[in-house]
Structure 1
Amino acid sequence: MAKRLVILGGGESGVGAAILGKQRGYDVFVSDGGALKDVYRKTLAEQGIEFEEGKHTEEKILSADEVMKSPGIPEKNEMVKKIRAKGIPVISEIELAYRYKGNSKIVAITGSNGKSTTTSLIYHICKLAGMDCALVGNIGYSFARQVAEDPKDLYVAEISSFQLDDIQTFRADVALLLNITEDHLDRYNYQFENYIKSKFRITENQTAGDYFIYCEDDEVIMAHLKSISITSNPLPFTMKQEVKKGAYIKGDQMMLRVQEERVSMSIYDFALKGKHNQYNTMAAGIAAATLGIRKEKIREAVKTFESLEHRMEHVATVRGVEFINDSKATNVNSTWYALESMNKPTILILGGVDKGNDYTLIEDLVKEKVKAIVCMGTDNQKIHEAFGSTVAKIVDTATAKDAVTTAFELAGKGDVVLLSPACASFDLFKNYEDRGKQFKEAVNDL
């Protein structure tokens, strides 16, 4: 009899897992407590996969041999508690994809900040080097669906801590841990230690032939490394000292070495600007070198990479005021990086769903660079409390259009308006892309 695979959540990862599960002979059922997007509803119907939406039918779910849980569903969800109580194994989509990937390799990228940029840069280097690869995971395309419909020799996967929480055998040939800062603490019982352990799971099944790339300047990573043992080959990247293997920046030169071949390159040639992007570029360069990509290709790719939409994206300059869309900044640390790279007086647009934010992190930068704050969220009390005494003007707005018009009124020639919300977007918007798009439309309407 076919093994019964129940999938909780009918979004990108859920539908991808359903397609792969059906292809591999599972009896698949998809259950979503909310409404499915039309495109996913249509896909499931076309594939002949049984599904329900707007409810969770207990007997159908608890008859599962295995449950694949979408990363967005927390452990405190009532249905998840019942599944756990019954002892049904719970896996994530990356675990399912891993089982059926064959001999393909996986480069997996995690971290609190810079994941999407680094993942996209590695993919860009691999494509330029002519590799048969796909960009999957948290960045928008289901890993499981890629394995089912268009398998590749190499998967470059952006992976969140939520996806790592439910792995069993998943193993990355090359694992990258960029940094760890307090994020999503609401999902980890407000225990930073739980979140750290979750991020480090990216190394847990690695073997002696694999690579672990990490930031040696990140205190949280370095402290945790002392308490665990890593089996794979460690490759650090740093700006503070020279390392024999891995990468470092000295003066204005990046030096990179994995095997025999050394790569050196001027940081002024990096397409990505800002100190945080020098870290991302070092990490991506090391990953490329572990795959045996030639240094000329790495150099060329690093020079030609175009940055992502919604990540420090220049939108327009209107009457001397520059507008930057950094809607992807969904935590305080991301906003810290954005502010750090500002060299003009800044009007900062902040706000959304607060995940337990500690705004003291950006206090000094705000004091130094920010003229005014425009809040864009349903509850802005914490922002007022944090910056009320340091910023002369804080204004509440309820839409992207409002926020842009208000910011434009507060700005003078030579200023910059920066949308870098430090929060999730689910109060006024569908997601950070929707928030970024609405911001850009409002700027173009000025």
Structure 2
Amino acid sequence: MSKDTSSFNHSTEMKKDIYGVIGICGIVGNIAARVLMDRGFHVLGTDMKSEKECKFKDTLQTYIQNKEIEVYFSEHPDSFFSQSQYVVPPPSLSKDSKVFQKIEKNGSNVLDVDTLLNEIKPDKPVLCVTGTNGKTTTTTLLKHICRTAGLITTEHGFRNLQGNIDYIPPLQARLKGDVAVLETGTFGIPGDLKRMVERCQPSCGIVTNITPDHLHDDHDFLSYASIKGSFIEYFKRGKLIVNADDPTLWGLVEAYKSSSNDQNIVSEDNDCEYISFGVDYGSTNPNKKKCICGREIRINETISGVGYYNCECGLKRPEPDYVATDVKGNSFTLKTPEGDVQFEMKLKGLHNVYNATGSIVAAIEFFKIDLDTIKKAVKNFEGVSGRMEYMYTYDGKEVIVDYGHNPAGVGTVLREMKKIYKKLAVVITISSESGESGDLEILKKAVEIGDFIVPASFYSRQAAEKHISSAKIIPTAESKEEFKSGTLGATADQVLEGLKKGLECDVDAVICLGEAAFKYKRNIQSLPNYLKEENN
């Protein structure tokens, strides 16, 4: 850059400059523009998409009405470049592109997104949530607690977009608000989560668990765990809230503590406050999991991959700082350093007790929210759309949708469902991101736990035909059609065909699992009317 940006965040003179954002209809450009405007900078936007095609335009509407931004749709006009002292290009824009040549021709200064993040620091408390399972519910509940306490949470504002990867969380941390609670994910690539958390600049973090659910090969598990370990390593200062019932996760914490001590790291550079939580419920499912030392250890699970453990290397489940006990239905007692507190919630399932506990600990320890407010927020939290979401009761059978699409998530949800319903039909709409091994593992868990299994997706049907023979399995005709898009494993017709088969079973509830079930919730919602017309 030809212009000095060292005082970018504070210079009154620089606020007189115009900042041009290319790709205003894209996710990164959209949030970057809002970050600049929230800090008082004057912004121009441009995009080759038409105004009608700009699906995130609603997030800019207030700024447009207030004349804080002028947007050029369907073009990158010369006037955009001539007016902009600084131009923010999309991270994907090649320096060899014609657009980049226009920037250089006009003598504008290139302000890439990483420089913007370095120069504009978060001006609020920032907390990041990571883990293999439970991130979304933990993040959403904690934000709900903050809002109940009167705090404004930063929101990227994109409908039907989770937004836990790439530049979204770091930019979201810099939007208007009192606090930032950010879900932070990983593609499983070494260094990606480390870069993410460094860009977000949090002073508190939550790690829910570490399981091999997103992996194609179990042998890669410890490598994947080390990626999550980079999140732990970041918090040399601040607070780190961790699920101590997870041996892999707690092993990483202990290993990092030991490494810090061995290297004689000075205390002011390694002043992390570790806060642990867990659930006392009793063992429900003996299983095995890899310890961070590499040994396969026995774990008496409460939920998948989490529970009571003791490894030969000396790692064992500690007594957590916060423990949920006396779990009965939708209530539990939380043992805290200050005494016991009773909580009630609308959420069902032991996995949600874990999610709630992590959120409560963060609300107490980091955001310093009073217990009465926390209890009220937890009690009235409706949950996250698509997470064990009740649809309706048809012919005496409750219909539930759950977004779960990996083996541990499916196993956890089904075990929790079986605690609620005596007889359960499971409709699988999943195409596992772990490939054939994941599809098979999901089907195995469904057969092990459910009473009737309907493989509604092509790949779950394929797993049934190739590998598993069980009287529990009820095939559908529609699932012979191959369909795959990410973890979306079924078409709307396949989902409904599977649900109809499930409703024919003698059960108390039918649960439709997977991204397809979530995507086609409206179709599921309208099925009773269709069946009524069909029967008439």
SS in 1 for 2:324: strand
Asked whether the equivalents of residues 24 and 45 of structure 2 are also in contact (C-alpha less than 8 Å), the reply is no
Helix, strand or coil at the partner of 2:30: helix
The answer to whether 1:319 aligns with 2:334 is no
> Counterpart of 2:255?
227
SS of 2:405's partner is: coil
Q: Write out aligned runs for 1:255-334 (5 A).
A: 255-257=334-336, 261-265=338-342, 269-290=344-365, 291-326=367-402, 328-334=403-409
The equivalent position to 2:474 in structure 1, one of 385, 390, 393, is 393
**Cα deviation, residue 335, structure 1:** 1.4
- Determine the structure 2 residue equivalent to 1:376: 457
Q: Conserved in 1, the CA contact under 8 Å of 2:425 and 2:505?
A: no
Match of 1:247 among 322, 339, 342: 322
Are residue 134 (structure 1) and residue 154 (structure 2) matched? yes
Q: 1 or 2 for the larger relative contact order (CA 8 Å, sep ≥6)?
A: 1
Amino acid of the structure 1 residue aligned with 2:32: A
Preserved CA contact (<8 Å) 2:243 2:278: yes
Q: Contact 1:9–1:69 at 8 Å: present in 2 too?
A: no
Match in the other structure for 2:179:
154
Letter in 2 for 1:235: I
In the alignment, structure 1 segments of 5+ residues that lack a partner are: 54-63, 71-77, 83-87, 426-431
Change (3 A) 1:244 1:223: closer
Contact 1:336–1:362 under 8 Å retained in 2: no
Q: Tell me which residue corresponds to 2:31.
A: 16
Indicate the structure (1 or 2) with the bigger Cα radius of gyration: 2
SS at structure 2 position matched to 1:134 = coil
Q: Which residue of 1 aligns with 2:301?
A: none
Deviations 1:267-300 (A, max 9, x none): xx23222110111111011011012111111222
Counterparts of 1:387 and 1:409, CA distance in 2 = 19
Secondary structure in 1 matching 2:500: helix
Aligned with residue 346 of structure 1, among 424, 429, 450: 424
Amino acid at match of 1:38: C
Equivalent residue runs for 1:195-206 within 5 Å = 195-206=224-235
Alignment partner of 1:176 out of 171, 184, 206: 206
Kindly indicate whether the alpha-carbon contact (under 8 Å) linking 1:136 and 1:146 is maintained by their aligned counterparts in 2.
Answer: yes
Give the equivalent residue in structure 1 for 2:145. 125
CA RMSD of aligned residues (A): 4.4
Whether the 8 Å CA contact 1:281–1:302 is kept in 2: the answer is yes
Q: CA deviation at 1:114?
A: 1.4
Specify the alignment match of 1:419 in structure 2.
Answer: 512
State the TM-score, normalized to the length of structure 1: 0.73
Query: What secondary structure sits across from 1:228 in the alignment?
Result: helix
Structure 2's unaligned 5+ residue stretches are 6-18, 76-85, 98-109, 258-269, 281-307, 309-316, 480-489, 532-536
Secondary structure (helix, strand or coil) at the match of 2:527 reads helix
Summarize deviations over 1:71-91 as a string: whole Å, max 9, x none: xxxxxxx989x9xxxxx9997
Q: Give the Å deviation of 1:16.
A: 1.4
Choose from 119, 129, 147 the match for 1:109: 129
Change (3 A) 1:298 1:440: same
Cα 1:414–1:289, aligned 2, differ >3 Å: closer, same or farther?
Answer: same
Change (3 A) 1:123 1:179: same
Is the contact between residue 180 and residue 218 of structure 1 (CA under 8 Å) also seen in structure 2? Answer: yes
Deviation of 1:103 (Å): 2.7
Deviation at 1:404, TM superposition (A): 2.6
Q: 8 Å contact 1:129–1:293 — kept in the other structure?
A: yes
For the structure 1 residues 9 and 189, does the alpha-carbon distance in structure 2 shift closer, same or farther, using more than 3 Å as the test?
farther
Matched letter for residue 407 of structure 1 = L
Task: Give TM-score, length-normalised by structure 2.
Answer: 0.62
Give the Å deviation of 1:318: 0.8
Structure 1's 223 and 383: CA in aligned 2 closer, same or farther, altered over 3 A? farther
1:214 corresponds to which residue?
Answer: 242
What CA deviation, in whole Å up to 9, does each residue of 1:132-159 have, x standing for no partner?
33355974595567567x6112112222
Of 48, 52, 55, the match for 1:39: 55
Q: Measure, in 1, the Cα distance between the counterparts of 2:32 and 2:220.
A: 30
**Inter-CA distance 135–8: structure 2 relative to 1 (3 Å threshold):** closer
